[in-house]
Amino acid sequence: MMFLCVCGDKMKRLNLLLLWGVFVFGLAHGSEPLMTLKVSGRIGSYAGAEERTYLFSEAQLLAEPIHTITTSTSWTPIASFAGPRVTDLIKKVGVKGEIVDFHALDGYFYSIPLSELKKYHVILAYKMNGKRLKIRDYGPLFVVYPRDQYRKELNVPTTEGKFVWQVFRMVVR
């Protein structure tokens, strides 16, 4: 299985190497790869000063306050999704931008205004109906909006692309 992300040339090789290593580590231990989230761009806190990135480990993500959204998506019936709010994560890295790009393992990405993430209390779900999301089931992280709670605003075709699954990276700009 190979993952591809659309990034700059230097970052592309580094991301592929990192993803491959995490994937192989997970397979060697008979489980899914570890859940991590890399944040870069216009942020104030860096774990990797040279790369100007912040990497949330699985332990850090699991330690964040858990928020639950019960909603349907175009791909799932009504389900209970749980994970940290995106706004909580970006506060930790000192966000300085207005847009967040969510990058998926398959190369897909979608740009969402920070104001919208705040308005709808969007989460990065790592659980659905109490079970950890696996890569084949929208994981490791899935951008989830409370679509059913705001039907008139969010149950429209333009919202579909915002439900990004297999998220591994956010870029703030």
Q: How many C-beta neighbours within 10 Å does residue 98 have?
A: 11
Please report whether residue 56 resides in a domain.
Answer: yes
> What is the chain's pLDDT, residue by residue, as a tens digit (173 residues)?
344 444 455 555 445 445 545 444 444 445 667 899 999 999 988 876 677 899 999 999 999 999 999 999 999 999 999 999 999 999 999 999 999 999 999 999 999 999 999 999 999 999 999 999 999 999 999 999 999 999 999 988 889 999 999 999 999 99
The answer to whether position 12 is within a domain reads no
Residue 144 lies in a domain: yes
Is 86 within 8 Å of 39 (Cβ atoms)?
A: no
Domain annotation covers residue 5:
no
* 8 A C-beta contact, residue 54 and residue 61: no
> What SS3 state is found at 112?
strand
Is residue 15 domain-resident?
A: no
In the prediction, which pLDDT does 50 show?
72
Compute the distance between CA of residue 72 and CA of residue 45 in angstroms, rounded to an integer.
35
The predicted structure's pLDDT at residue 51: 75
Q: If you count them, how many residues does the chain have? A: 173
Looking at the 3D structure of the chain, how many domains does it have?
1
pLDDT value for 25: 47
* Token duo for residue 47: 């774990």
Residue 165 exposure: Cα atoms within 13 Å on the Cβ side: 16
Cβ count near 66 (within 10 Å):
14
- pTM tops 0.75, yes or no: yes
Is residue 83 a part of any domain in this protein?
A: yes
Give residue 109's pLDDT: 97
CATH number at residue 152: 3.90.420.10
Task: Look at residue 12 in the predicted model and tell me its pLDDT.
Answer: 53
- How far apart CA 19 and CA 13 sit, in angstroms, is 10
Compute, in degrees rounded to 10, the torsion defined by CA atoms 151, 155, 158, 164.
110
Which single residue is written with the structure tokens 């806190």?
Answer: 45
SS3 at position 16: helix
Q: How far apart are CA 19 and CA 12, in angstroms?
A: 10
pLDDT score, position 130: 97
On whether residue 3 sits in a domain, the answer given is no
Query: CA angle, corner 24, sides to 66 and 53, nearest 5?
Result: 55
Range of the structural domain that residue 163 is part of: 35-172
Quote the pLDDT of residue 27.
46
- DSSP, res 136: G
Q: Could you tell me which residues come within 8 angstroms of residue 24 by beta carbon, excluding any fewer than 6 positions away?
A: none
Per-residue confidence (pLDDT) for residue 9, from 0 to 100: 56
Answer whether residue 50 is part of any domain: yes
